[in-house]
């Protein structure tokens, strides 16, 4: 490895940023956690606060991650979650297919209304394949077939296949986590759009049919007997058609790998032509195998210029309003990272003398409300030949004084690429790079 070119490892701790929690004595989970390794990296490098898109604007995972993956902020606004989830599970797609991000949920039917009792059906993990298999090629009228496919835990992908379908329809997912919510009726954005009306009617028909089939499914009957929540409803959002996007990493001709257990993140990697690496041990929960993820990252760095390592459990625990569990995930990550840096693992050592290491998040998730918010996230960039600042701890408060200042996700990625030495030989002009990143 020459000193004018480094490998890059960007670690995305999903939803890492947070707000002070009363049950953590007024600390954020990151402030409360024991992070000697991250603190040491902060003390010997540069830190800052990063806005995923705009200051104060909450974003979803697919928006925050896509920009960190090199997509321009303007292009990121056109992304739809359905096609990303479909790409993440390797779904076979035809021209004209509509894709929805979906949740298996627990619902109760009262009259014509479906009342949502749990948006995630108790975060169901077992037998999801069996439930989805019961909802393949469902005739929802007008020569439209609906099929549900498993993604991550309770998350699924709904595909509508037929002629003349429209994306100009509303979600059935009411969003949020309030009590006594109902599955919404999908509607056409324009009441005079007959194709959109027909598409919305097909989605609503699927809601009815899926409830009938899932409610009597043996898996759910067994779950009820075991005092578990049944996964008897499907809620949908993020409808879209397949799209292709270019990003700056492709223009730089970099070999990129993505390591994750999250279908959204893997889907983005597939859409952008990156190598995607996953394993059944990589979950969205605190039991995810962090040691194995870091080992995969070390292996990938041998053949790739830039490796992204994504960890979802920090976000999941915040959505569950469990700041202590979030702090514990951060504890475990810090320990695992330290073992890898010191070479005390069976897979060997990540050599930070030849690697630019970026630590960041795609957005902040408030453990008190269980929702994303627009707060900036703490970031650091380790550069063996870089400057240092005077930050002593890696957290939301201390990083606010760091030399990186308050920057956007686009600027964070550009700073990592510059530290790697990727921009000094960029064949296009500075203005061309600027145009591609707007």
In a domain, 1, yes or no: no
Determine the Cα–Cα distance for residues 10 and 33; give it in Å rounded to an integer: 21
- Are residues 254 and 377 both part of a single domain? yes
Residue with tokens 């800052």: 48
- Are residues 104 and 248 both part of a single domain? no
Q: Is the pLDDT of residue 386 over 70?
A: yes
- Are residues 207 and 290 both part of a single domain? no
Task: Report the CATH number at residue 321.
Answer: 3.40.720.10
pLDDT above 70 as % of the chain? 94
Q: Is the pLDDT of residue 397 over 80?
A: yes
pLDDT given for residue 271 in this prediction: 85
- Are residues 28 and 66 both part of a single domain? yes
pLDDT given for residue 128 in this prediction: 96
Residue 159's domain comprises: 91-240
**Range 386-408 average pLDDT:** 97
In a domain, 84, yes or no: no
In a domain, 126, yes or no: yes
**Range 276-292 average pLDDT:** 93
pLDDT given for residue 146 in this prediction: 97
- Are residues 26 and 105 both part of a single domain? no
Q: Is the pLDDT of residue 431 over 60?
A: no
Of 308, 311, 259, which is closest to residue 285 (Cα–Cα)? 311
- Are residues 354 and 205 both part of a single domain? no
Mean pLDDT highest for which of 87-91, 120-124, 348-352? 120-124
- Are residues 257 and 397 both part of a single domain? yes
Determine the Cα–Cα distance for residues 386 and 41; give it in Å rounded to an integer: 12
Q: At which of 194, 221, 240 does a domain end?
A: 240
In a domain, 415, yes or no: yes
Q: At which of 215, 240, 265 does a domain end?
A: 240
- Are residues 151 and 279 both part of a single domain? no
In a domain, 51, yes or no: yes
Tens-digit pLDDT profile for residues 372-385: 999 999 999 999 99
Q: Global pTM?
A: 0.79
For the chain, what is the domain count?
2
Report residue 81's pLDDT band, with 50, 70 and 90 as the boundaries: confident
Determine the Cα–Cα distance for residues 103 and 123; give it in Å rounded to an integer: 10
**Range 42-48 average pLDDT:** 97
In a domain, 330, yes or no: yes
Q: Tell me what the pLDDT averaged over the chain comes to.
A: 92
Antiparallel, parallel or unpaired: β 355-360 and 7-13:
parallel
Contacts of 283 (CB under 8 A, 6+ apart): 125, 152, 153, 261, 312, 313
pLDDT given for residue 259 in this prediction: 97
Report residue 49's pLDDT band, with 50, 70 and 90 as the boundaries: very high
- Are residues 276 and 336 both part of a single domain? yes
pLDDT given for residue 1 in this prediction: 44
- Are residues 263 and 408 both part of a single domain? yes
Tens-digit pLDDT profile for residues 176-216: 665 679 999 999 999 899 999 999 999 999 999 999 999 99
pLDDT given for residue 426 in this prediction: 65
In a domain, 86, yes or no: no
- Are residues 229 and 248 both part of a single domain? no
Q: At which of 205, 240, 275 does a domain end?
A: 240
- Are residues 40 and 131 both part of a single domain? no
Contacts of 279 (CB under 8 A, 6+ apart): 261, 289, 292, 296
Q: Is the pLDDT of residue 437 over 70?
A: no
In a domain, 255, yes or no: yes
């Amino acid at each position: 490895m020459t000193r004018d070119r480094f490998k890059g490892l960007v670690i995305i701790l999903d939803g890492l940023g947070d707000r002070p929690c009363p049950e953590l004595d007024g600390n954020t989970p990151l402030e409360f956690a024991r992070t000697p390794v991250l603190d040491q990296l902060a003390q010997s490098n540069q830190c800052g606060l990063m806005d995923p898109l705009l200051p104060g604007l909450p974003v979803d995972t697919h928006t925050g991650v896509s920009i960190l993956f090199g997509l321009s902020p303007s292009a990121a606004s056109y992304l739809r979650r359905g096609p990303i989830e479909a790409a993440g599970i390797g779904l076979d797609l035809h021209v004209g297919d509509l894709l929805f991000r979906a949740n298996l949920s627990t619902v109760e039917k009262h009259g014509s209304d479906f009342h949502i009792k749990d948006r995630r059906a108790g975060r169901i993990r077992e037998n999801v394949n069996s439930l989805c298999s019961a909802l393949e090629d469902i005739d929802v009228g007008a020569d439209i077939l609906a099929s549900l496919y498993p993604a991550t835990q309770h998350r699924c992908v709904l595909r509508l296949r037929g002629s003349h379908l429209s994306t100009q329809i509303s979600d059935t997912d009411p969003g949020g986590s309030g009590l006594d919510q109902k599955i919404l009726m999908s509607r056409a954005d324009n009441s005079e759009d007959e194709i959109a009306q027909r598409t919305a009617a097909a989605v609503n028909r699927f809601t009815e049919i899926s409830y009938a089939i899932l409610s009597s499914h043996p898996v759910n009957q067994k779950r009820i007997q075991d005092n578990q929540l049944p996964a008897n409803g499907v809620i949908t959002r993020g409808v879209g058609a397949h799209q292709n996007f270019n990003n700056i990493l492709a223009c730089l001709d970099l070999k990129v790998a993505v390591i994750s257990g999250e279908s959204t993140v893997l889907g983005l990697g597939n859409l952008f032509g990156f190598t995607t690496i996953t394993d059944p041990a990589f979950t969205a929960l605190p039991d995810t195998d962090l040691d194995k993820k870091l080992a995969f990252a070390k292996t990938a760095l041998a053949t790739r210029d830039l490796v992204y390592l994504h960890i979802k459990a920090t976000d999941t625990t915040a959505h569950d309003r469990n700041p202590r569990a979030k702090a514990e995930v951060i504890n475990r990550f810090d320990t695992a990272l330290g073992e890898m840096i010191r070479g005390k693992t069976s897979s060997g050592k990540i050599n930070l003398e030849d690697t630019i290491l970026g630590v960041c998040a795609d957005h902040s998730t408030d453990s008190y409300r269980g929702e994303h918010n627009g707060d900036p996230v703490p970031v650091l960039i380790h550069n063996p030949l870089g400057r240092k600042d005077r930050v002593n701890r890696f957290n939301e408060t201390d990083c606010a004084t760091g030399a990186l200042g308050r920057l956007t996700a686009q600027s964070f990625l550009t700073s990592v690429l510059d530290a790697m030495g990727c921009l000094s030989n960029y064949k296009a002009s500075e203005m061309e790079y600027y145009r591609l990143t707007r």
